[in-house]
């Protein structure tokens, strides 16, 4: 009886420890933690149909130079709004812009680009439920991520890109990372 | 007091305190638990009206309207959105398209009356409940062909 | 290069700690003096290496060496020097390095001050201390290396979270860690005692000052955090029962209990195995806090960037340290010589009651903190346990304790006279009752909450009761002429106790008043418009843009008037920091004994051509800080008591003093 009393702390603690183990497993890495200042997650997204063999987006494609990764989808209305600007910035050649066609039908995603223009260097398809984008830390579309030369995500912009956002926020960061 | 009596006293003291604590916990916990729901839960389930709860999701784009000290906005989990009304100052990090948790009550008119709006200190924050809810709603959409209206 | 030296020093420290964890323990077991003698130099060497590592990281921050990833992520050239230094511990990796630095410092302190400790106890405690160090050094080196390089280095860093660029928060973590890690001393000595199978008064005399020091730091750390939350979060609250706050409050409760139970061990040679258990629990709560804050198992309003991989590692540490200790406790404690039972109505009896209530309180806080996790694990839905739970469970447990605090110290050891003590306190009781009723009438009876009168009565009872106890001890009534002399001769630990208990009374007043009578006014205010709050007229005069060193501020100017006379100008700000770009609200606070006028400027409201402003009158908030200040002062004075002096457990005052020099 008395010995059992002394075992009580171990017993309570064991129950707590089990709870914590459960708690940690309930919190898998896949939850959309925004990976600012973390490396781009491991991914190898297939290309859009009709856009060529090696035009998908993989982790290694984001290393070596500063790049902008833009999340879009053919269903996304605000993406149309930012698209002309992306076309413009893509032509300027300041930074390669890659796309992730998120939670979308690849055929529709490709058609959308034909209609509105294709600013992207590489486009990876990430159909629903959009695992790769979730790993990226995407919470909606459009969103844009600046990735540095080492493949580390440096900045995340939520919402459409406007000239103001580009000139005041994104461009200075890109320029600084390119130095 | 004999040794036996003293021991009995200490055992009783311990048990009595424990008993009081358990009683306090039991009476308090049902009243002060605030359950967390996603907007989809609120739309699809019949939840007890007037109960204090938390709703988490993203602040829907262009849904924020200010009228003096009262603000209204919509909280969405990508599948469903519910209107929220809040009187007071929004946290510094409150943004459209960002994760948010509101605490308050669902009113009869279908507007969630928030008494607290929580955005995290870290701007890159997404509350765990929100993340889970979004994840859930993502899975939920899998079988359907409809495209959800996305934030922003 | 310097960063690599730091990294290398950490690896060396790990090697030393490994030796220190094993060799002295085996030596103590076999009775080999030469093996036991390893502990002391090892602890010095370990501290040296870790200090080098800490200095290396500090150097990287001070010189803005952005080739170190940690610096690039958390610092910026534009940042003021104070926050460059504070940036060292303003992130996960650096704060762990601070943690381990303090741990090594405490270990080294055992060597430095513990010359007259029994060698067996000392080297076992140092070995346990080293085991904790090994765990945390591995944690740093394997998952959270603060010296990782970034190639090529960015031109400038991404900046420290502006929330952290604040004096209150800059010093909050070091104090907190001094408290958390300080409990490791009691823990190590508890484990050493279990290994030796003996606890005596000398053990308690050694453990008490360290526990007290840790408790003082922890109190300071918690209150700094609370103060910071009060003036920066911009909604006038100071305690939110947030998991992160609870994580620091639970070790505080256990530490407070330990502080009091160690007295019983020292004076009466009783409550031994309970005290050992408390020592393990207090440090266990510290580790638990670290785990909860960094693993992301709980949702908190403010938390470190969380990483499940790190969570697994800390959980492992937690299981090994706490689970292992409890196991050892279950095996060894029953065999330890019991202290014997004492009379319930006595000083030790009341100290035991204090312990029972404090531990039950800590347990309810633990339950409330973990409940969301429990509910989630059992699929009961996602819940938050709000402040109402803690207020309606924790406070009713603490109220009788506060009431007891006036009575306990007046009881004699061994056999107290409860009726006699209550008789001596009958005037105090009458005054307290009167004060409670007065407060009740002043707030307009049931116009305010029912518990305000009770809170004030409790505070007056405790405050006056403590003063009566002091007056009796110095014979103020019986022999007033000698009172001053006696007061001077009163042991410092008694003064410490009186101050701390009085501080609790002051704190209760702040707690009650601020919870009951806070006034809040939220509105759109035009320039020139006046709003009344707490009897003050608050007029918005202007809103200007003012540049700061690394931010741009919208600064509002308010004119404060009372009875039509302008008495002050207050200037709250809303700052937008440049790097990282983040807005921060800075409230303006005008403190007085009655309460604080608290003014916050919000966004402009173009529709009504004004600004949203939030004005608060927070009654008696300074009483909270004053109460906490008295707790810290009391603890510090008590630490200065000759009998508490570290390293002087027995007759050897002279030797102890030399050891300290």
Quick: pLDDT tens for C364-396. Answer: 999 999 988 888 788 777 777 878 889 899 999
Q: What does pLDDT average to over chain C?
A: 88
Most confident of A56-70, C260-274, C458-472: C458-472
User: Which two structure tokens, joined as six digits, stand for C244?
Assistant: 């992160």
- Residue C583: list chain B partners with CB under 8 A: 92-93
Instruction: Please tell me the least confidently modeled range out of A65-74, C216-225, C456-465, C557-566.
Output: A65-74
Whether the CB-CB separation of C280 and C222 falls below 8 Å is answered with no
Domain that holds residue A77: 34-178
Q: What is the reported pLDDT for B146? A: 26
Mean pLDDT of C569-573: 94
C524 strand-pairing partners:
C612
In this model, does residue C498 exceed pLDDT 70? yes
Provide the edge-to-edge strand list for the sheet that holds A153-158. A123-126, A97-102, A67-72, A143-147, A153-158
**pLDDT band with cut points at 50, 70 and 90 for residue C159:** low
Average pLDDT, chain A: 81
Distance between CA atoms of residues A164 and A157, nearest Å:
12
Nearest to C136 by CA among C293, C296, C280, C291: C291
The stretch C207-234 carries a mean pLDDT of 90
With H, G, I as helix, E, B as strand and everything else as coil, classify residue A167. helix
Domain count, chain A: 1
- Mutation for testing the A interface, residue in C92, C275, C377 having most A CBs under 10 Å: C377
Q: What does the DSSP 8-state code read for residue A152?
A: B
Helix, strand, coil share of chain C (percent; to 5)? 65, 10, 20
Mean pLDDT computed over C410-420: 89
Average of pLDDT values for B80-104? 80
CB contact under 8 A, C344 and B6: yes
Look at residue A134 in the predicted model and tell me its pLDDT: 64
pLDDT at A28 over 60: no
The answer to whether residue A140 sits within a structural domain is yes
What's the pLDDT score for residue C645?
A: 62
Q: Could you give the CA distance from residue C602 to residue B87 in angstroms, rounded to a whole number?
A: 13
Alpha-carbon distance of C15 to C10, in angstroms, equals 9
- A25-34, A89-98, C613-622, C624-633: least confident range: A25-34
What is the sign, positive or negative, of the torsion defined by CA atoms of C590, C594, C595, C597?
negative
Please give the pLDDT value at position A33: 36
Residue C296 has pLDDT above 90, yes or no: no
> What's the pLDDT at A36?
63
What is the ipTM metric for this complex? 0.86
What span, in angstroms and rounded, lies between the C-alpha atoms of B11 and B17? 10
C361 token code pair? 């309180």
Residue B15: CA atoms inside 13 Å, Cβ hemisphere, count?
6
Q: Cα C509 vs. chain centroid, distance in angstroms?
A: 20
Position A26 scores a pLDDT of 62
Which is higher by pLDDT, C41 or C641?
C41
Q: What is the pLDDT of residue C136?
A: 95
Say yes or no: C344 contacts chain A, CB-CB below 8 A: no
Burial of A121 (0-12, 13-18, 19+ CB in 10 A): middle
Q: Which residue has the higher pLDDT, C633 or C488?
A: C633
DSSP characters over A70-128: EEE-TT-HHHHHHHHHHHHHHHHTSS-EEEEEESS-HHHHHHHHHHH----S-EEEE-T
Q: B15 touching C, CB under 8 A?
A: no
Flag whether A125 is in a domain: yes
- Model pLDDT for residues C126-153, shown as the tens digit of each residue: 999 999 999 999 999 998 899 988 766 7
Tokens linked to B64: 């924020």
> Quick check: B6 and C392 CB within 8 A?
no
User: In order of start, what are the domains of chain C with their CATH numbers?
Assistant: 1-160 (1.20.120), 394-517 (no CATH), 519-622 (no CATH)
pLDDT at C494: 93
Chain segment A38-47, per-residue pLDDT in tens: 788 888 888 9
Q: How confident is the model over C76-86, as a mean pLDDT?
A: 85
Cis peptide before C152 (omega within 30 of 0): yes
Q: Which site among C326, C338, C380, C383 would you substitute to test the A interface, given the most A Cβ atoms closer than 10 Å to its Cβ?
A: C326
The answer as to whether A160 is a domain residue is: yes
Closest-CA residue in chain B for A78? B152
Q: Looking at beta carbons, which residues of chain B come within 8 Å of A158?
A: 95, 97-98, 152
Structural domain includes residue A56: yes
Whether residue A62 lies inside any domain: the answer is yes
Is residue C415 pLDDT above 60, yes or no? Answer: yes
Please check whether residue C378 touches B, CB under 8 A: no
Domain holding A63: CATH number?
3.40.30.10
Of C419 and C646, the structure prediction assigns the larger pLDDT to C419
Q: Which residues contact A112 (CB under 8 A, 6 or more apart)?
A: A72, A74
Residue B124 has pLDDT above 60, yes or no: no
d(CA C440, CA C509): 14
pLDDT band of C625, cuts 50, 70, 90:
very high
User: Averaged over C50-57, what is the pLDDT?
Assistant: 97
Question: What local confidence, expressed as pLDDT, does residue A78 receive?
Answer: 64
Of C234, C343, C574, the CB nearest to B6: C343
In a domain, A1, yes or no: no
Q: For residue C450, is pLDDT > 60?
A: yes
pLDDT digits (tens, 9 = 90+) for B22-44: 998 888 887 777 887 878 788 87
Q: Select the more confidently predicted residue: A31 or C298.
A: C298
pLDDT of residue C206: 87
pLDDT at C661 over 50: no
What pLDDT is attached to residue C578?
73
Nearest CB to B152; choose among A75, A134, A140: A140
Chain B residues 42-101 with a CB less than 8 Å from chain A:
58, 61, 78, 95-99
Instruction: Assign C125 a pLDDT band (cuts: 50, 70, 90).
Output: very high
| A128: pLDDT strictly greater than 80 | no
> ∠ CA C267-C273-C275 to the nearest 5 degrees?
60
Kindly state whether residue A6 falls inside one of the protein's structural domains.
no
Q: Give the chains touching B; criterion: ≥3 Cβ pairs < 8 Å.
A: A, C
How many CB atoms sit inside 10 A of residue C340's CB? 12
Are A129 and B142 inside 8 Å of each other by CB? yes
Q: Is residue A21 part of a domain?
A: no
B110 touching C, CB under 8 A?
A: no
CA distance A105 to chain C (A): 33
A2·C334 Cβ contact <8 A: yes
Contact A139 B58 (CB under 8 A): yes
Position with higher pLDDT, A89 vs B91? A89
């Amino acid at each position: 009886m008395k010995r059992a009393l002394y075992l009580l702390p171990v017993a309570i603690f064991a129950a707590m420890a089990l709870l914590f183990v459960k708690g940690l497993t309930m919190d898998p890495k896949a939850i959309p933690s925004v990976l600012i200042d973390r490396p781009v997650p491991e991914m190898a997204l297939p290309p859009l149909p009709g856009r060529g063999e090696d035009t998908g987006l993989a982790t290694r494609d984001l290393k070596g130079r500063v790049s902008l990764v833009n999340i879009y989808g053919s269903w996304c209305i605000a993406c149309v709004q930012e698209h002309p600007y992306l076309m413009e910035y893509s032509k300027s050649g300041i930074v390669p812009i890659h796309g992730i066609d998120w939670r979308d039908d690849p055929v529709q995603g490709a058609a959308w680009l034909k209609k509105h223009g294709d600013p992207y260097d590489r486009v990876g398809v990430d159909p629903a439920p959009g695992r790769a984008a979730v790993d990226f830390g995407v919470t909606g579309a459009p969103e844009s991520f600046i990735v540095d030369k080492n493949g580390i995500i440096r900045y995340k912009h939520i919402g459409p890109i406007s000239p103001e956002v580009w000139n005041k926020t994104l461009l200075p960061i890109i320029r600084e990372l390119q130095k | 007091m004999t040794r036996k009596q003293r021991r009995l006293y200490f055992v009783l003291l311990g048990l009595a305190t424990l008993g009081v604590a358990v009683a306090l916990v039991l009476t308090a916990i049902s009243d002060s638990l605030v359950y967390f729901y996603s907007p989809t839960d609120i739309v699809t389930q019949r939840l007890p009206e007037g109960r204090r709860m938390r709703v988490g999701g993203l602040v829907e784009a262009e849904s924020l309207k200010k009228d003096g000290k009262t603000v209204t906005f919509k909280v969405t989990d990508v599948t469903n959105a519910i209107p929220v009304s809040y009187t007071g100052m929004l946290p510094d990090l409150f943004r459209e398209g960002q994760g948010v948790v509101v605490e308050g009550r669902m009113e009869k008119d279908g507007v969630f009356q928030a008494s607290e709006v929580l955005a995290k200190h870290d701007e890159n924050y997404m509350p765990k409940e929100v993340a889970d809810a979004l994840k859930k709603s993502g899975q939920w959409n899998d079988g359907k062909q409809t495209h959800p209206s996305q934030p922003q | 290069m310097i960063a690599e030296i730091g990294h290398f020093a950490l690896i060396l420290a790990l090697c030393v700690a490994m030796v220190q964890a094993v060799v002295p323990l085996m030596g103590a077991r076999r009775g080999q003096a030469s093996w036991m003698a390893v502990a002391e130099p090892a602890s010095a060497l370990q501290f040296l290496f870790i200090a080098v590592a800490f200095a290396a990281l500090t150097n990287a921050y001070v010189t803005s060496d952005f080739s170190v990833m940690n610096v690039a992520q958390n610092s910026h050239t534009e940042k003021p020097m104070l926050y460059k230094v504070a940036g060292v511990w303003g992130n996960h990796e650096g704060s762990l390095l601070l943690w381990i630095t303090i741990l090594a410092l405490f270990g080294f302190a055992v060597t430095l001050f513990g010359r007259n400790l029994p060698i067996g106890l000392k080297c076992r405690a140092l070995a346990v201390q080293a085991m904790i160090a090994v765990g945390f050094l591995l944690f740093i080196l394997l998952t959270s290396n603060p010296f990782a390089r970034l190639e090529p280095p960015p031109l400038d860093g991404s900046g420290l979270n502006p929330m952290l660029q604040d004096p209150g928060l800059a010093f909050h973590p070091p104090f907190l860690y001094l408290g958390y890690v300080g409990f490791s001393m009691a823990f190590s000595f508890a484990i050493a005692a279990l290994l030796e199978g003996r606890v005596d008064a000398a053990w308690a005399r050694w453990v008490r000052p360290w526990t007290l020091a840790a408790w003082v730091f922890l109190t300071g750390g918690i209150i700094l955090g609370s103060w910071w939350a009060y003036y920066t979060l911009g909604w006038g609250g100071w305690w939110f029962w947030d998991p992160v706050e609870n994580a620091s409050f639970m070790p505080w409760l256990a530490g407070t209990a330990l502080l009091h139970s160690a007295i019983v061990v020292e004076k009466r040679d009783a409550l031994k195995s309970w005290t050992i258990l408390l020592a393990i629990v207090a440090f266990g709560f510290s580790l638990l806090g670290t785990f909860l804050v960094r693993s992301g198992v709980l949702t908190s309003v403010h938390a470190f960037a969380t990483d499940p991989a790190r969570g697994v590692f800390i959980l492992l540490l937690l299981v090994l340290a706490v689970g292992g200790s409890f196991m050892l406790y279950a095996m060894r404690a029953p065999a330890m010589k019991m202290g014997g039972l004492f009379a319930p109505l006595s000083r030790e009896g009341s100290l035991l009651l204090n312990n029972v209530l404090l531990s039950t309180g800590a347990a309810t806080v633990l339950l409330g903190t973990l409940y969301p996790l429990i509910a989630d694990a059992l699929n009961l839905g996602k819940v938050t346990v709000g402040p109402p739970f803690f207020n309606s469970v924790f406070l009713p447990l603490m109220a009788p304790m506060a009431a007891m605090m006036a009575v306990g110290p007046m009881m004699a050891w061994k056999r107290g006279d409860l009726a006699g003590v209550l008789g001596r306190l009958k005037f105090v009781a009458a005054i307290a009752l009167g004060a409670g009723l007065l407060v009740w009438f002043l707030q307009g009876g049931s116009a305010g909450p029912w518990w305000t009168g009770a809170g004030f009565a409790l505070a007056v009872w405790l405050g006056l009761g403590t003063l009566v106890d002091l007056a009796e001890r110095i014979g103020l009534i019986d022999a007033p002429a000698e009172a001053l002399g006696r007061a001077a001769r009163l042991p410092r630990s008694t003064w410490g106790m009186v101050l701390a208990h009085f501080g609790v009374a002051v704190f209760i007043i702040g707690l009650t008043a601020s919870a009951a009578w806070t006034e809040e006014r939220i509105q759109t205010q035009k320039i020139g418009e006046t709003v009344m709050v707490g009897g003050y007229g608050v007029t918005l005069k202007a809103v200007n843009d003012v540049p700061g060193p690394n931010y741009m501020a919208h600064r509002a100017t308010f004119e404060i008037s009372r009875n039509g006379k302008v008495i002050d100008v207050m200037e709250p700000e809303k700052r937008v920091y440049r790097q990282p770009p983040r807005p921060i609200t800075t409230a303006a606070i005008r403190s007085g004994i009655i309460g604080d006028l608290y003014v916050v400027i919000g966004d402009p409201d173009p529709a009504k051509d004004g600004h949203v402003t939030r004005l608060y009158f927070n009654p008696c908030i300074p009483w909270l800080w004053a109460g906490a200040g008295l707790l810290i002062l009391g603890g510090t004075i008590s630490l200065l008591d000759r009998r508490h002096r570290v390293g002087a457990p027995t007759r050897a005052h002279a030797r102890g003093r030399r050891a300290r020099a």
